[in-house]
Structure 1
Amino acid sequence: MSNPVLVSLHQQLKKCFEVLKVNKNVWESVLAECIPLMSSLGNLAVQLKALKNVQLANTPLAKFPSLQERLHYKLSLAVDTVLGKLAEKMDALQTVRNAISKQVSAVFQFYEKNTDALDIACCVSRSATCPSIADMLEWLQDADCYYRLQLLQRRKLLWMLKPTDLTLMETEPKRWESLHSSSREERIADALCQVSFFMDIE
């Protein structure tokens, strides 16, 4: 490989795929931590709805003064706590997305800056151990778009939540899970698999 620009671009691509690989694992770990939090949020909504519908004054619990208000306050505090933890998870996902986008952007900037030194044949040629530059750039762009969209959609779900809309809160776990895209994640995993030999080339 005599073209120094091609050598540099391959180095940039390797670095970018390494960043993608590491952060993909972090992303999946953070999302896994969100599952019990979303479940808790749904359960708290069910409890708040039940509390709203029951008349404690007509039960043996009537002898406890202001019990309904105190229970509502306690459950509301629990909701705030869960939402606070979910906000922290969203910040963690934002960090992952930023790291991937920063690296992908750097690769594309380098490529666009040096297009004169990279002809079409060079960009589309591939071998058993090295995918084409065109393929790798496409895979990275797809991954960047996927994480950007995922973050926006998950933030939007949380932004839509209102303490007074218990039905929305109750269905939040299912709507959160519906954002999961196995096909898109498999494509990212497949891309990482296809560059595995390329990553080991010195």
Structure 2
Amino acid sequence: MEYIFPETGKDPRFVHLLQQLHKAFSVVKSGLSIWEEAIAKSQPHLKSVQNLSEQHHCCVQAQGLGEIVQRFPDVREKLLYKINKEIDNNMANLYKAVDVCKEVCDKVSKQCTRCQVVYNKTNEDLNMLTRRSPTCPSAVEMLEWLQDSEYLMMNQYLIRKHLLDKFSLSDRDQESVLYKQWSTEDTTLLQTIKGHLQYLEFFLEMKI
């Protein structure tokens, strides 16, 4: 399918903007899939950190180790070393997931900037920019949705990185925040961006 507004014909500036928006939302769509996959794969590592943290606290308090510690005084230190090493390994994988989210953010931000540059060259024709078709929102709406997507992704990346940076075995509250928020932070992001992409389904299938 070829996308064209009969009233605007082949205005090169407008066509260029549509092409850039088309490319940008294609990047958003593929990036969102990468984002979801990275977070899904991080869940076992988050669960491992939670379980290992509990083991760490029990070991520090010598719960269930009283008799063993009396017989083998260095057993607690050895267990803590092993547990801490496993926690570090799993935390490293959580950071990798956050790095993937950052890469997605960077690609979307780059597309957003390019669209804004093209938009600034055409923004004197508001009639053209606000015109909608039965199969496509207006260019103004699409640019706003793209900026929303960029903001939501960057915000969620920063929240997750903050959660990891603040994680501490000595602060049970910070532990709890990490476990509770890690899996729920994307709710608004996914609902919003997937909603935009649903409206853009026909547009993304068109040849511009």
- TM-score where L is the length of structure 2: 0.88
2:134 to 112, 128, 134: 128
Distance in 2 (CA, whole Å) between partners of 1:167 and 1:41 is 15
**1-structure distance, mates of 2:33, 2:164:** 23
Asked if residue 28 in structure 1 is aligned to residue 36 in structure 2, the reply is: yes
C-alpha separation in 2, matches of 1:201 and 1:180 = 29
The count of corresponding residues between Structure 1 and Structure 2 is: 199
- The answer as to 2:107 corresponding to 1:102 is no
Q: In the alignment, what sits opposite 1:87?
A: 95
Letter in 2 for 1:49: H
Work out the CA distance in 2 between the residues paired with 1:78 and 1:144.
34
User: Do residues 148 (structure 1) and 154 (structure 2) align?
Assistant: yes
Q: Which runs of 5+ in 2 are unaligned?
A: 1-8
Q: Distance in 2 between matches of 1:91 and 1:164?
A: 25
Gaps of 5+ in 1: none
User: Please, which of 15, 26, 29 is the counterpart of residue 7 of structure 1?
Assistant: 15
Which residue among 122, 125, 141 is the counterpart of 1:114?
122
Deviations 1:4-51 (A, max 9, x none): 101111111110010011001000000111211111111111111111
Considering fraction of residues, name the structure with more helix. 1
Q: Distance in 2 between matches of 1:13 and 1:170?
A: 40
Correspondence 1:74 to 2:82 = yes
User: Within 1, Cα distance between the matches of 2:65 and 2:16?
Assistant: 75
Structure 2 residue 194 is matched with structure 1 residue 192 = no
- Distance in 2, Cα, partners of 1:29 & 1:193: 20
- Structure 2 letter corresponding to 1:135: E
Distance verdict in 2 for CA 1:137–1:57, change over 3 Å: closer
Task: Report % sequence identity.
Answer: 30
Taking structure 1 as reference, are residues 191 and 64 closer, same or farther at Cα in structure 2, changes over 3 Å only? same
Which residue among 171, 175, 198 is the counterpart of 1:165?
171
Distance, in Å, in 2 between the alignment partners of 1:79 and 1:45 is 8
* Deviation beyond 4 Å, 4+ runs, structure 1: none
On the 8 A contact 1:45/1:170 being kept in 2, the answer is no
Give yes or no for the alignment of 1:176 onto 2:182: yes
C-alpha distance after superposition, 1:149-199 (max 9, x if no partner): 001111111111124334532552113224232x43222112111111112
2:4 — aligned with what? none
Decide whether aligned partners of structure 1 residues 143 and 177 sit closer, same or farther in structure 2, where only a CA change above 3 A counts: same
Measured on the aligned residues, the alpha-carbon RMSD in Å equals: 1.8
Q: 1:57 to 1:157 in 2, by over 3 A?
A: closer
In structure 2, C-alpha distance between the alignment counterparts of 1:46 and 1:33, rounded to whole Å: 22
